[in-house]
Amino acid sequence: MHAFWAALLAWVVILILLAVSLLLLRRQIIKFLFANFTKVLMTDNYVENLAEMYAVIFKLTPQLLLECELRSATGKSLERPFGTALRFSKWEYLFFNPVYLARMPLADGLSAGTDVVI
């Protein structure tokens, strides 16, 4: 039982020393990690760059990204049993502004008033 308490005390001392060293060296550790990360990010090739993958993920949905990967791997179009995955707007979402229908535009040859009022 005495060995258990000695081992527990050793672990506690190690954890305290580790916490103190992390607190004292946190700025250097963060600087080292970010310097390496930004170096890799700025010097990697286009096909390996993480920043490019970040941009692609926000442009494409995960489904479209997966389909692009499948098409690039096989070189063929995907077979879809039920048509496209794109969502088209429904007629209920189309709104017309009646202001544009109330007054017709000027006929050809007539000049529009361009007076400036201050």
46-62 residue pLDDT tens: 777 777 777 777 777 77
Task: Give me 89's structure tokens.
Answer: 């707007």
Confirm whether 49 is domain-assigned.
Answer: yes
Measured distance CA(86)–CA(64) in Å, rounded: 10
Q: Are 78 and 71 in contact (CB under 8 A)?
A: yes
Note down the domain range covering 69: 45-76
With cut-offs at 50, 70 and 90, classify the pLDDT of residue 86.
low
Name the domain count of the chain. Answer: 2
Confirm whether 93 is domain-assigned.
Answer: no
Note whether 39 and 51 are same-domain residues: no
Confirm whether 20 is domain-assigned.
Answer: yes
18-57 residue pLDDT tens: 999 888 888 888 888 888 888 877 787 877 777 777 777 7
pTM over cut 0.75: no
